[in-house]
Each structure stands twice: as C-alpha cells, then as structure tokens.
Chains A and B, each alone.
Chain A
C-alpha cells in the first residue's frame, strides 16, 4: 500500500473537511437524513472526485492505493460533519473485503465502480442476533446448477437499501463462504429498517433461493471478513474521535457565550470540570483511533489489541461526550432543532455497530493475554 506522507495526509483531511464544511452543514445533514437513500448524490460525486471513495482501492483498479492512516484521517472529518453516506459500507467494508478475498475477477468487476463512486456495495454479515461474529450469521448457501443460491436472512445491513451489490457471508457445504448478490436478484427482499440514528441507513434482507456468485477467495472466508471489519472499526473509531472533538468544541463555545447569573456558564466550575473531563475523553479517542490505524497499516503485532482498544475506547468516549454535551447545554439541547441529539444518535449507533464495547473489551483482554 502506498501511504501518504503526514503532510499529504493532513492536506487530504483538510481538503475533505473543507468540502464537508461547505456541503455538509447541519442544514444539509438534516435535509439528507429525511431522504430515502440517506445520502446526497451530488456530494457523493464530489467525495468520489476527491479520491476518497477510492482511497483504499489499489491503483490498478482506479483507486489511490492508500491505507488505514489516510482512511482514519478522512473519517475524523466525516465524523465531525456528521456525514451520511455509503462511505463506510462501500469504500471501506466492501473494498477491503474484495481486496482481502483476492478474487481477481470480482475485483475487476466491482472495485473500479466502488473507487469512482458509481457503484455502491455493502456487506451482509449478521442475522437478527446482530453480533458480527461467525455464530451470528443466518444465511445458508447451496449449489444450484453452475452457481449458488442463498437462503435465510441478514440484518443491520448498512446501506442495504441503496447498495447495487451485496457481499454476503453464508454457510455452505464447505463452510463459510462469500457471495455476491445483485440488488434486483429474484427472491431477494430488502426491507429498510427504521434507525434511531436518522443519518444511518440499514436494511434487513431476506433470501429465498437467491441466485448468487461465489467469490473465489484465496484464503479462509472469515479472514477476509475480519480484514473488512478491522478496517471498518478503524474508520468508525476515526469518525467517533472526530465527532467527539466537534461536539466538545460546540459545547465549549456555548459555555463561553451562554450567560446565566450574570456570567458565562463556562465560568462555573460545575461546567468547566465537565469540559476538562471531556477533553481527556476526546483526546484519548483521537490517540486510540490513530494508534489503531498505525497498527493496522503496519500489520503490527499489537494490531488486534490496538483495534479492539480503539473500538471500545472511541465508542465509549463518543457516547460520553455526546451525552454530557446535552447536559452541559441544558434545555436548548433537549430540542429537536439543536444538533446535539444528532451526534448522540450517531454515537449510540456506532457503539453497537460491528459489536459493542463489552465485546471489544473482552477481545482487547484476550489480545493482551496473548501478548503477555
């Protein structure tokens, strides 16, 4: 993977942040979250033109060939702006799964479209259990003629209602395998799920003898899934760190300008001390997210621990920050028209996506035990 220099990475993040500051304002977020697709196609085109959708795709398939460090940096900006888009589903999860599975034909078929944003793909990895573990999957595969058919269901499929292609992990006669399904495939029923985070799109997919193309994976299928989840967790951690920092900034600004008892509420230690504690939360989240990106980029021995740490530390820091921010604002943040609850909703969603904090604390501990 061609990593950018720290300066180039900063420039990429800043350029992306400027685009979002211009085109993904709170007003834009609110408008977009009311749409069925949950994303703004015009903005999506600009994100693609900047190279962000193709960040992880190799140059042979039309991407930038960058890695986790670059991804984490842009996701901090995405999180700060509360961007609603299929970036995580398509450009992160699907792109990584395809690269890791190593099916050259599938890569040639799908990666160029993912890279230029013209094709949206996503992963179906868990059933109603919502565990994102091998045990949680509820799709089975059976051979049919020259191909395969899928039966069962997949839930919490991010952007499942908008994806052109769904990459499905399913149990077949030979164990776990990966399959590609077209959105219009016969027997596939896609039901949009009502999400608490209105900027997030999820669907439940029901498979009834759905024709599917098997990916010719070069290694165990779960390894490719784990690679995609690892990249997804780094992206999510970056988004959470960026979101936490933005919410703290908003809250500190408010504490400086809101006057009660004849003085700014930020001069009261009751508020000031909460802000100081949140600074520690958001800085620690930033450190954890960047450390996970570093470890994954280097394929370091501590990568498993670093990713698990970021998974729960960033999720918890974001949840704490957004919840405390509402309390610090007081009544104004209890209104729908104030953005604080939008961030809280995103934080609560991220805290469940791909496994919750208890799950990742256990994984972190297992990794430490293995290191010791």
Chain B
C-alpha cells in the first residue's frame, strides 16, 4: 500500500468512526480496525507496517484529536506482554490491554531496594505449576484499582543478585495482596505500599524464563523510558500565573521584588537554567535527527532536578515571610512550599541525582565503575538491611 493510499484509508475511517462527543467504544473499534498497533504483526492486531507508515497513521489521528493509535510505541504493558509473555498470556491480555480494559501497576521497588533495584528480597517460590509470592513493594501508583502488577521477585537465592530474579504478572485482586496509600511529604498520596502474603501467580504469568527477570525488566524499562517524557508538575494552587517568556519574572513583579538587585541576579541565573536545558534538549533532538547519538539526553533529568529545586528556592526567597503560611488563602506560599518539597520527586524518583551522575560518568564519559562487593556472590550471602 502506498503512503497516499494509507493516508486516505485512515482519513476515511476516522471520518466514519471518530466523534469527539461519542468516545465510548471508540478504542475497541481502533483495535478491531488494526490502527492501535500498526507496527505489530497481523496476527497480533497489527499491520506489520514500518515506522514511516505508522507515523502517517499517528499524524492523521493527532490531526483530529483521536486517541488509541501508536500503542506499539506507547503501551508499556501490551508491549511487554507481546515481547516476553507466554502464548496463553498474550491471548488472554494483549487485546484487552490495547482496549484499556485491564488496570495495571508496577511492582519493582522495595523498601530495601531503591537505587539498588537488583537487591529485591520479595520471593516467589514454586507451588504446584505456579508460584507463591511473599514480600513488600513500594512507590506503586494505581495499585488499588489494578488487575495485574508487573512484578519482579527472587526465585533463586543461590546465584548472584541479577541472575536470581523472575518477572511475573501478579493478579492483584486476591486476598494475599494488600494495598495501603503512602502519604508523601507534600501531604498527598499518589503512591501505595503493597504487602504481598502467600499470593498466587498462575503458571502462564511468568514472562521470559525463570531467572531471566532482570533482562525482561530492562525491556520493560526501555518501553517505559521511551513513553515517559519527563513530565514535571507545576504549581498546584491553581492560582493563575502569568506565562510568557519568563514566568518567574512575572512572579517577582507580583511579589514586588523585581527591583531588588539580588533577586534580579537570582532570577537571571535560575531562568537561564531552564532556558539552557531547553537549548540542550533541542540540540539533542537535532543530533538524533542527524543520526549521531547524543550525550545530552542523559543530562536532561539531572538538569531538571536542579531547575526545580532552584526555582522553588527562588519562589520562596521572593515571598519571604509569606512562605511561612499555607492553605487556599495563600496560593503563592502554597506553590512555593509544594514545589520545594515536590522537587525531590524528580531528584530522587526514577533514579536519584547521584545514580544519574554515576550513569553519566560511566556510560557517557566512560569512567570505570565502582568495585561491587555483591558481584559474583550468591544473593543469600549479600548483606541487606
């Protein structure tokens, strides 16, 4: 099929089927018409198209604001199942995941395994044809509503840490899974703790082979990274802020401190950080467009965490004693204080700044790794706590 034929077909189909006022059932139609994952093979809801033609479909969907395509790039769950799941699990879930009929969550981090994710101690032991799981997971969003959790658990304690891990789809709606909201320093609860006690995993729900969970996890994380553009949250007060080239300048004007020479220096410094990061990102994209790999991409998260902490600090400085207050009557204080705390979401979450510096130092600059004392040691012997 030529590009033009394909474009005409998508347009015609969207004209017949897409109505922004009538969204119910649309996703099922997208899947049925094979638009949901056009790069995938025909036997799995796809059309076996190359990237160029899949992008044509994506552009046509975007042009009319219709959802549901590009899931071969963006649906973490469906991609992971298709790539690593058993035949039975694929038949059971891929279609439903594309139709967004299955609630999902991630069961990776543990209280004792944050930066050192391969140090997990949640265990999965053979029980009949399946497994029984015991342990505790943390930082899980959507756990209360999820049907399945993508779980990493230790199945072999007598090999080094990366080699004894397996990757499962854990059914969440069972007695052995208890979800408790986790109250954050911002006084919000976006995440949960998940306590797992003798929970059952059916035989078909192992992804990859037993002991190969770390490599399945890398596949899943790669999908996750390609999907999640670092979306840092803005102020939560909802109070209107002037936009424009320099929102911080407008805030300083509003706070009556725009004439203060120290604040002015600080404003320029902090505003520059955000602009420099935008310039770096633009340059990274241009580099990628030319087919050369860019070291700039890996710097973005580290830069963003500095920007968020610095902006929050400056907002606080501009308010002065006003930042002592909170609540709906003090929206600027609410913003400054919230952003000061929430900046840690970026500087700790998804790899702390310190881990990020290790990654940049080792993968980009080629510096040698620290010696690892738990390398080549049976996990049973590794110190925990």
Q: Which residues of A contact B (CB under 8 A)?
A: 252, 255-256, 263-264, 266-269, 271-273, 275-277, 279-280, 283-284, 286-288, 290-291, 309, 312-313, 358, 361-362, 364-365, 368-369, 371-372
Known: A276-B357, A287-B276. A362 touches B268 (CB 8 A): yes
- In this complex, what residue of A is CB-closest to B242? A372
B360-A279 in contact (CB<8A): yes
Q: Is the CB of B362 within 8 A of A288?
A: no
Give the complex CA separation of A268 and B360 in angstroms. 13
Chain B residues in 8 Å Cβ range of A273: 354, 357-358, 361
The answer to whether A275 touches B367 (Cβ under 8 A) is: yes
B367 touching A255 by the CB < 8 A rule?
yes
Report the separation of the CA atoms of residues A358 and B370 in the bound assembly, to the nearest whole angstrom.
40
Which B residues are closer than 8 A to A by beta carbons?
A: 242, 244-246, 249-250, 258, 261, 264-265, 267-269, 271-272, 275-277, 279-280, 282-283, 295-296, 299, 302-303, 354, 356-358, 360-362, 364-371
User: Which A residues are CB-close (under 8 A) to B302?
Assistant: 276, 280
* Cross-chain contact of A268 among B242, B249, B264, B370 (Cβ < 8 A): B370
- For the residues of A in contact with B, the DSSP-based class is helix
A268 neighbours in B (Cβ, 8 Å): 370
| Bound Cα distance A273, B361 (Å) | 7
A266 and B280 within 8 A (CB): no
Question: Which chain B residue lies CB-closest to A277?
Answer: B357
Contact check: which of B249, B275, B362 meets A369 at CB < 8 Å? Answer: B249
Q: Which residues of B contact A365 (CB under 8 A)?
A: 249, 264, 267-268, 271
Interfacial chain A residues near B361, Cβ < 8 Å? 266, 269, 272-273, 275-276
Report how far A107 CA is from B274 CA in the complex, Å: 42
What are the residues of chain A within 8 A of B280 when measuring CB–CB? 283-284, 287
Q: Contacting A272 at CB < 8 Å: which of B269, B282, B362?
A: B362
* Bound: A364/B280 CA distance, A: 19
Q: Contact at A267–B245, with CB atoms within 8 Å? A: no
| A287: contacting residue among B264, B283, B367, CB under 8 A | B283
Cβ B358 vs Cβ A272 within 8 A:
yes
Q: Nearest Cβ distance between residue A234 and chain B, in whole angstroms? A: 15
Contact of A371 among B244, B272, B282 (CB under 8 A): B244
Task: Tell me the bound Cα distance from A362 to B360 in angstroms.
Answer: 33
Cβ contacts under 8 Å, A371 to chain B: 244-246
Can you list 25 pairs linking A and B with CB atoms under 8 Å apart? A267-B368, A267-B369, A267-B371, A271-B367, A273-B354, A275-B365, A276-B302, A276-B358, A276-B361, A276-B365, A279-B364, A279-B365, A283-B296, A287-B276, A287-B280, A287-B282, A291-B279, A309-B272, A312-B268, A312-B272, A313-B276, A364-B272, A368-B268, A369-B258, A372-B246
